[in-house]
Amino acid sequence: MQTCTLAVDIGASSGRHIVGTVQNGKITLQEVYRFENGVHRENGHLCWDIDTLAKEVVNGLKAAHDAGFAPATIGIDTWAVDFVLLDADNKRIGDAVAYRDERTEGIREALEKEYGLTFADHYARTGIQYQPFNTVYQLMALKKEHPEQLAAAKTFLMVPDYLNYLLCGVPANEYTNASTTALVGADSRDWDDALIEKLGLPRGIFQPIKTAGTVLGHLTPDIQKAVGFDAEVILPATHDTGSAFLAVPARDGYAAYLSSGTWSLLGVENAAAITGPDSCAANFTNEGGYEYRYRYLKNIMGLWMIQSVRRELGEKTGTRPSFPELIAAAEKACAEAGVKALVGKIATGDLFVGDSATKAAIEAKCAPDCVEMEGAAVSQIAAKNGVPCVILRAMSDNADEDGHEVLVVKKFSIGEYVATATKIVAAMVESL
C-alpha cells in the first residue's frame, strides 16, 4: 500500500476522489474515483441527494484502497451556502434543499420589513454579497415554511461539515464555508450573535468555527470497516474556491484569479475585509479564505449553460454524449457545412504566435496541428467538472511573420465565421 493524502472535491455536477503523493520532492495527483451529482425535486423543492453523496464519498475511499493506496488524511471540499440540520439524536431533519430552489424569493425584502435589517446594514456586518440563495435567506425561508424543523434542530452543518461528520462523528463548522452564510462577522470571523438573535434563529445550533488545517478525528469504526483502512479527517478550506485559491501561483498580493465551475468566481484575496458603501453597491463579497484571509470576488456565469446542454441531451437520448461522440458529431457537422475539418492536437498558451522561431520551438516540443490561446482553459474546467467538450477552431493565419496580414490586410469577416460556427454547432446538437 502506498501512503497518500486523499482529497474529495464535490461540485454541483460531479465529484471526484484524488490521491496525492510526494515523489522526489514533487506532488503527484491521481484521480481514483468520480461520480455524478445533481438536484432533483423532492417535497416541492429542488434538493441534493445527500444520502447518495455520502455513499459516494465512502465508495471513493474504498476505491482508493482497492487501487493500492493507504490514505493517511482525508479532506472534503464542496460548494457553499447549503446545509443540513440534525436533531437531538443526530438524525437529519428534512431535505438537503439546494441553493437553486426558489424558496428564498422575497426573503431579503422580508428581512427589511419585518426585522428592520437593511442590506446595507447586513453587508456592513458580514461583507457578504447579496445572492438570493445565501444561507441566511435559506434559514429564514425554512423558519417561515417549517418552523418545527428549526425548533427540533440541535446542530447546523453545511454540506462538507455534514459529510465530515458522517466520516468521523465530529460536528464542526469550517470557517471558509461558514462565512458564506452571511451570519459570520467580517471582523470577528465568528458567528454574529447579535445578528442571529435579531433574526430569531436558534444560536445553539451553530457549532464552534474551526479553521482549515484542523484535525477533526479518525474514521469511525463503521467507516473503517467499509473502506478497509483508518485515516484522519482534516479540514481543508471546505469552500472549493477557498481551496482552489491555494493552488494559484500568485507572485504578489495583487494576484487575481478566475475559478470556474458551475459558477465562475473572479476576484483577489485580501488581508482585510472591504465592507464600505461602494463595495456594497458593487455587490462584491468577502468570503473567508485560508488563514483568515478574505476572497474578495464577484460571482459570474460559469459552466452552468454547458452542463445544462449536456444534461438536456442526456434526457433526450438516455445518455450524456461522450468525447468520441462529440468529435464524431463535429466532424459530421463540418462536412455538412462544407468546412474542411482536421481532428488533431491543439497547442494552447498565453501568447500570440507570430514569428517563425516561436512556431518552430512549439513544433519541436509537441508537434501540434494548430496553435490557439483559449482551449486549455475551457478543457481544464470541463475536465474538472466531468463535462465532455469539443473545441472547434477556425484557422486564421500561419502563425508566422505574415499573420498580421490576415487581420489587417485581408480583413476577414467575423460575421461569416460566426454564421458558420453557429451552423456547425446547431448541426452537432441535432445529431446528438
Q: What is the 3-state secondary structure (H, E, C) of 365-384?
A: HHCCCEEECCHHHHHHHHHH
Residues 225 and 135 in one domain: yes
Distance of CA 371 to the CA centre of its chain: 29
| Residue 392 covered by a domain | yes
Is the domain of 231 the same as that of 150?
yes
Q: Would 269 be classed as within a structural domain?
A: no
pLDDT tens digits for range 60-118 = 999 999 999 999 999 999 999 999 999 999 999 999 999 989 999 999 999 999 999 99
CB contact at 8 A, 179 and 287 = yes
Do 221 and 336 belong to one domain?
Answer: no
Q: What is this structure's pTM?
A: 0.72
Q: What digits encode the pLDDT tens for the residues 398-414?
A: 777 675 555 555 555 66
Query: Domain boundary at 237, 257, 290, which?
Result: 237
How many domains is the chain built from? Answer: 2
CA distance 234 to 146: 33
How much of the chain exceeds pLDDT 70, in percent?
Answer: 89
Read off the pLDDT of each residue in 43-62 and give the average, rounded to a whole number: 97
- The pLDDT, as a whole number, for residue 329 is 83
Which range (23-37, 285-299, 339-353) has the least confidence?
339-353
229 and 328 inside one domain: no
Same-domain pairing of 328 and 198: no
Is 278 contained in some domain? no
Residue 233 β-bridge partners: 74, 217
Helix (H) or strand (E) holding 217: strand 215-218
pLDDT of residue 25: 85
Q: How far apart are CA 14 and CA 34, in angstroms?
A: 7
Q: Are residues 208 and 308 located together in one domain of the fold? A: no
Confidence label for 384 from pLDDT (cuts 50, 70 and 90):
low
What local confidence, expressed as pLDDT, does residue 413 receive?
A: 65
Torsion of Cα atoms, 301 then 304 then 310 then 312, to 10°: -110
Q: Is the dihedral of CA 140, 87, 157, 124 positive or negative?
A: positive
Average pLDDT of the segment spanning 336-356? 79
Give the per-residue pLDDT at 251: 77
Instruction: Flag whether 9 is in a domain.
Output: yes
Range of the domain at 380: 304-431
Quick one: 201 and 70 in the same domain?
yes
Instruction: Give the model's pLDDT for residue 255.
Output: 82
Place of cell 425535486: 41
DSSP conformation class of 37: -
- 198 & 101 share domain: yes
Q: How confident is the model at residue 20 (pLDDT cuts 50, 70, 90)?
A: very high
Q: Is residue 276 domain-resident? A: no
- According to the model, what pLDDT value does residue 306 have? 60
Rounded Cα distance, 238 and 187, in Å: 20
CATH code where residue 333 lies: 3.40.50.1580
The confidence score (pLDDT) of residue 191 equals 98
In angstroms, the CA 19 to CA 5 distance is: 6
Which sequence positions are flagged as catalytic?
240
What CATH number corresponds to the domain at position 50? Answer: 3.30.420.40
Residue 422, Ramachandran bin (φ over 0: left; ψ between -120 and 50: alpha; else beta): alpha
Locate 208 and state its grid cell: 464552534
Q: Can you give the pLDDT at residue 77? A: 97
In a domain, 299, yes or no: no
**pLDDT (0 to 100) of residue 298:** 83
The reply to whether 364 falls in a domain is yes
Which pLDDT score, from 0 to 100, does residue 320 have? 66
Whole-number Å distance between alpha carbons of 259 and 294: 15
CA angle centred on 365, ends 364 and 371, rounded to 5°: 90
Residue 312 in domain? yes
pLDDT confidence of residue 35: 94
pLDDT digits (tens, 9 = 90+) for 124-161: 999 999 999 999 999 999 999 999 999 999 999 999 99
Instruction: Give the dihedral of Cα atoms 347, 350, 356, 359; nearest 10 deg.
Output: -20
For 355-385, give one letter per residue: b (16+ CB within 10 A) or e: eeebbeebeeeeeeebbbeebeebbebbebb
pLDDT higher than threshold 80 for residue 382: no
Q: pLDDT of 241-296, one tens digit each?
A: 889 888 888 777 778 888 776 667 788 899 999 999 999 999 999 999 999 999 99
Q: Are residues 416 and 314 in the same domain?
A: yes
Any idea which residue has 441553493 for its cell? 99
Looking at the structure, tell me whether residues 214 and 349 fall in a common domain.
Answer: no
Q: What is the pLDDT of residues 180-210, one digit of tens each?
A: 999 999 999 999 999 999 999 999 999 999 9
Q: Do 229 and 308 lie in a common domain?
A: no
Structure confidence at residue 31 (pLDDT): 95
Question: Do 337 and 226 reside in the same domain of the chain?
Answer: no
Q: What is the pLDDT of residue 95?
A: 96
Q: What is the pLDDT of residue 308?
A: 62
